[in-house]
Amino acid sequence: MRKYGAEVLGTILLTLPGTGAIIATSLTGQPGGIGIVLAFGLGLLVSVYAFGPISGSAVNPAITIGLAMLGMIPWRDVVPYIISQLIGATITAVVLLLFFGNVAHLGATVPAPHISVTMALGAEILGTFILMTGVSALSHPKFPAAASGLSVGLSLVAAAFFTGSISGGSFNPARSFGPALVSGTWTDFWIYLVGPVVGAVLAAGLYRTVRGTR
């Protein structure tokens, strides 16, 4: 239960700075796109250092599946982890709603205007592929544990800079689910379920092949 609680709190720590930055940008114009990307990346970095020793700080259903493929978490924990992550993201959205109202749909992810569904789906697949590759590095026995937060957080920043203006840069079904549920914004939501899972599975499978058997 401590692991599942850590996933709830870790997901809050990831989603609160980023979706909060989206709301702040809508209200004041600051911190803007770069600030939003950094807020998500730094939130994930802190989450990994704070809760990684307890649960691995997956904080993302797609990454959870990838970690199980790499043998970093047991398959029996996948469903409870995902439920915990969905709860954490939903709690974040409820808190933001109580403080700020339904501003910017609470940071819900939708494709940018004039962007096709195919392009948005591709952006989520490629972005999650980048993120999962950075996460996969932690499975190598020679990877320095002290750099885990940097590897994961900077991978998210790199992926979001690449795809954020196309799809919203979710790479995380839980991060998209919380704001969608609380704000009622379900536009093309399936993209943010399918894209991240496909990207994570591809990245984890390729990394496992290149890394070899531990």
3-state secondary structure 85-150: HHHHHHHHHHHHHHHHCCHHHHHCCCCCCCCCHHHHHHHHHHHHHHHHHHHHHHHCCCCCHHHHHH
Closest alpha carbon to 158 in 201, 200, 129: 129
Q: What mean pLDDT do residues 38-64 have? A: 95
Q: What mean pLDDT do residues 103-132 have? A: 96
Taking a C-beta distance cutoff of 8 angstroms, is the pair 46, 13 a contact?
A: yes
Token reading at 162: 């690449």
Residue percentage of the chain with pLDDT more than 70: 99
Q: How far apart are CA 67 and CA 191, in angstroms?
A: 21
Q: What angle do helix axes 2-28 and 173-183 make, rounded to 10 degrees?
A: 60
| pLDDT of amino acid 55 | 92
Taking a C-beta distance cutoff of 8 angstroms, is the pair 43, 15 a contact?
A: yes
Predicted confidence band at 181 (pLDDT cuts at 50, 70, 90)? very high
Closest alpha carbon to 204 in 106, 115, 117, 138: 138
Q: What mean pLDDT do residues 179-206 have? A: 97
DSSP 70: T
Token reading at 75: 């398959």
140 or 173: whose pLDDT is higher?
Answer: 173
| pLDDT of amino acid 214 | 53
Q: What mean pLDDT do residues 168-183 have? A: 97
Cα 147 to chain centroid, rounded: 19
| pLDDT of amino acid 213 | 62
**Cβ neighbours of 149 (radius 10 Å):** 19
Q: What mean pLDDT do residues 115-134 have? A: 97
Residue 166 has pLDDT above 90, yes or no: yes
Token reading at 29: 């114009």
| pLDDT of amino acid 19 | 97
- HSE on the CB side for 17, CA within 13 Å? 19
| pLDDT of amino acid 157 | 96
Token reading at 141: 């026995």
| pLDDT of amino acid 48 | 95
Q: Which CATH architecture has domain 2-211?
A: Up-down Bundle (1.20)
Query: For residues 63-93, b (16+ Cβ closer than 10 Å) or e, as one string?
Result: bbbbbbbbebbeeebbeebbebbbbbbbbbb
Token reading at 115: 């962007």
Mean pLDDT of the chain: 95
pLDDT, tens digit, for every residue of 57-87?
A: 999 999 999 999 999 999 999 999 999 999 9
* Domain boundaries of the chain, sorted by first residue: 2-211
| pLDDT of amino acid 141 | 86
Q: What mean pLDDT do residues 195-204 have? A: 98
